[in-house]
Amino acid sequence: MPRSAVLAGDLVHVVDADDRLRIRPIEVLRREHDRVVVRSGLADGERVAVSRLTIPIEGLEVRPLALGAALDAGPAPPGDDAEPAP
């Protein structure tokens, strides 16, 4: 995953099936220049916020962008890939 998705203390923001933010510890196997390899803490298919969120509160409802939509729109400003729901 992108190294920027890993927060201090090896935490990540996971978006659950109900589009709620969950803060989860992970175990990093290896750190590289721009990515990390995760040993444990995530399951296949889980969605991880890859940019910093302005207000990362456990349980906060977010509105993730679909990967295709994010790519079509071009680069997003920091924090725009998962925004609080209205």
- What's the whole-model pTM score? 0.72
Q: What is the pLDDT of residue 66?
A: 74
Q: Under CATH, which number does the domain 3-84 receive? A: 2.40.420
Q: What is the pLDDT of residue 80?
A: 47
Cα distance between residue 15 and residue 47, in whole Å = 5
Q: Provide the percentage of residues in the chain whose pLDDT is more than 90.
A: 62
- Residue 50: pLDDT band (50, 70, 90) is confident
CB atoms near residue 4 (< 10 Å): 13
Between 70 and 43, the more confident residue is 43
